[in-house]
């Protein structure tokens, strides 16, 4: 036990290197990364946004960041499958903790998210966000567009999220079903180079995005889907947003608006692994709702999606 440690989230002396906490114990941070509110110099910052005030069906995604961190504890210090490497040997990653949102004034949440995301991006190379409902992607796209300009969006979801915008007393109303409408309207993403994967519902507008519907996902291989994504994004900066309800309810029951007939976690992870040459500049995993989960199935799937994003970045850094 002399070489073992515990609570690496705050006992770590460096932001490089793996941890040796028992999988069932220790302070929870994402994959045991050091907790830090000063991410300056980190290659990647992981951040949680516990917000679900814009859902149209079942709430509970405010508990998503905590559940994703807890689920990530089972990823031990061995080389991470399928990347054949310790992701943190050369890539520095910190867990920034969560965004503070006043639950009494949810209409202020998006401005708070955008401002804090911009502050984090000023200090770190890449922001990986744990949600939270899908509306949080809109202020995240605002912050990333300030840094990278207009981006391509790679969007895994059962829903198009292109419903019309409405007005409220606080101004433009953006919820988890209309964040993409707002993103296109404000010129944050280019629909002509953006793509959605796994869609199994209809919305009034496509806004010009390419869609790989759920039934098509079943007919295509992971390699074919990844090739379609590469062809669509045309080498541009990409923001990747993964709504966990992209997966079939058998693999992700713990979400606010589940839709049957979706792909397996294995297939979508296979797609993600083949996106290592994509110019991903930011990413989020959203809509994990632990109150509807069973045996942490959904949280484990979501945490694995986030792990794969880190794996892509680690392979990129390794050349």
245 is in an annotated binding site: yes
- Cβ atoms within 10 A of the Cβ of 249, count? 17
243 is in an annotated binding site: yes
213 is in an annotated binding site: no
Core vs surface per residue 143-180: b (16+ CB within 10 A) or e: bbbeebeebbbbbbbbbbbbbeeeeeeeeebbbbbbbb
Rounded Cα–Cα distance for residues 74 and 170 (Å): 42
176 is in an annotated binding site: no
Annotated binding site for Mn(2+): which residue ranges?
Answer: 134, 157, 159, 161, 243, 245
Annotated binding site: which residue ranges?
Answer: 134, 157, 159, 161, 243, 245
């Amino acid at each position: 036990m002399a070489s073992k440690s515990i609570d690496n989230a705050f006992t770590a002396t460096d932001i490089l290197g793996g941890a040796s906490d028992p999988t069932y114990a220790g302070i929870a941070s994402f994959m045991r990364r050091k907790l830090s509110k000063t991410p300056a110099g980190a290659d990647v910052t992981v951040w949680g946004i516990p917000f679900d005030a814009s859902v149209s069906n079942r709430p509970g995604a405010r508990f998503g960041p905590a559940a994703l961190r807890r689920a990530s504890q089972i990823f031990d210090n061995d080389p991470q499958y399928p990347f054949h490497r310790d992701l943190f040997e050369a890539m520095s990653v910190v867990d920034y903790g969560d965004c503070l949102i006043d639950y009494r004034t949810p209409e202020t949440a998006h401005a708070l998210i955008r401002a804090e995301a911009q502050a984090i991006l000023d200090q770190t190379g890449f922001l990986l966000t744990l949600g939270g409902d899908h509306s949080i992607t809109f202020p995240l796209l605002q912050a990333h567009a300030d840094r990278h300009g207009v981006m391509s969006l790679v969007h895994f979801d059962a829903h198009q999220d292109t419903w019309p915008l409405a007005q409220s007393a606080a101004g433009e109303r953006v919820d988890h079903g209309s964040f993409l409408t707002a993103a296109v309207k404000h010129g944050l993403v280019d629909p002509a180079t953006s793509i959605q994967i796994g869609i199994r519902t209809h919305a009034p507008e496509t806004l010009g995005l390419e869609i790989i519907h759920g039934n098509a996902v079943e007919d295509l291989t992971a390699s074919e889907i990844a090739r379609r994504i590469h062809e669509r994004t045309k080498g541009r900066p990409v923001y990747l947003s993964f709504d966990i309800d992209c997966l079939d309810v058998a693999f992700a029951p713990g979400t606010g608006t589940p839709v049957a007939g979706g792909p397996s976690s294995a297939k979508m992870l296979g797609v993600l692994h083949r996106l290592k040459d994509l110019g991903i500049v930011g990413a989020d995993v959203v809509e994990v709702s632990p109150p509807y989960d069973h045996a942490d199935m959904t949280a484990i799937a979501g945490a694995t999606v986030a792990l794969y994003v880190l794996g892509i970045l680690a392979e990129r850094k390794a050349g």
